[in-house]
Amino acid sequence: MLDFLIFGGVLLGIMYIVLYLTVLKIPKFKSSVKLHGKTFIITGSNTGIGKATALDIAKRGARVILACRDKQRAESAVNDIKKQSGNNEIVFMHLDLASLQSVRSFAENFLKSEPRLDVLINNAGVVTEGKTKDDIGLIFGVNHIGHFLLTVLLLDRLKECAPSRVVTVSSRGYEIGTIDFECISTQKDLGRGNSALGLFMKYAHSKLCNVLFTHELAKRLEGTNVTCYTLHPGAIRTEIGRHANLLWKMILTPITTLFFLDVEFGAQTILHCALQEGIEHLSGCYFSDCAVQKVRAKARDDAAAKKLWELSERLCGLA
């Protein structure tokens, strides 16, 4: 009986720690700001954190562009968001971040049809083996290169509509990431091999790319009244691994089911970076739990950020 009570006490303690580190520790974005007349683009917004973010922004009255690859899922998301928000200004525009031509077509179509862009939210991400249509590693291509090109192509419109923002979803996984510039130059990828561990590490490397991209972008946007931020959304239960191989799913699914949070929690820091007033002086910074965080030295390396930008330009055909 005593052993059972001790075991029960230990189990309750573990459950409290998990609860504290997840639900109890994540603050909510509490601003009641309204967004009528504003236009947002959110990539990967037909599901998960992106959809939860789009719904919140739609409820505030903004025009929301769901920039997604899967037409059927996106149109279903459009209908859901319209119904739940009462806002009919929700539009699907096709965007496949694994194709640079698709990124260019999206930007061209958007610039022709939409007069405003107030906030670009680079949210989409994958943890999947394979190559993009441009022979770039898929994780690298979708999580960084596609968003890099999209942002660059839309910068003039963001400047015209300033004050405006670019928000890029990263992850604490950046902390174990590294940038192998030789591998990028020769393989168009962030690493070699596609084991479960190899894919996870490529994901971590891509999240470091997100932080370095934002660091460099902030420098290039100085004086424009366009600001940019990157963030860790939290340990969130999403569909990011739905196209992953079976081994990856076997590893990931039990962990996410038991310990990760619902997508509404993951939207909170995105909303903070996109909507919070008075953070313009923090352009280029990294956020978590709706607050600015200090990053590792490798994530604020000026030389690495500049080199990544230049390599990205070359891979996109911009240089």
Catalytic residues: 203
Q: Are 124 and 142 in contact (CB under 8 A)?
A: yes
DSSP 70-102: -HHHHHHHHHHHHHHH----EEEEE--TT-HHH
Q: Which two tokens stand for residue 131?
A: 């190559």
Q: Which two tokens stand for residue 190?
A: 């962030």
- Alpha carbons 36 and 61: distance in angstroms, whole number: 5
Q: At CA 221, angle to CA 217 and CA 226, rounded to 5?
A: 105
The residues with which 66 forms a beta bridge, in sequence order, are 42, 92
Greatest pairwise CA separation for the chain in angstroms: 72
**Listing from the earlier edge strand, what are the strands of the sheet with 286-288?**
90-94, 63-68, 39-43, 119-122, 164-169, 226-232, 286-288, 291-293
- Tell me whether strands 226-232 and 291-293 are parallel, antiparallel or unpaired: unpaired
Q: Which two tokens stand for residue 145?
A: 């290169």
* DSSP tag of 287: E
- Tell me whether strands 90-94 and 63-68 are parallel, antiparallel or unpaired: parallel
Q: Which residues contact 143 (CB under 8 A, 6 or more apart)?
A: 124, 125, 126, 203, 206, 207, 209, 210
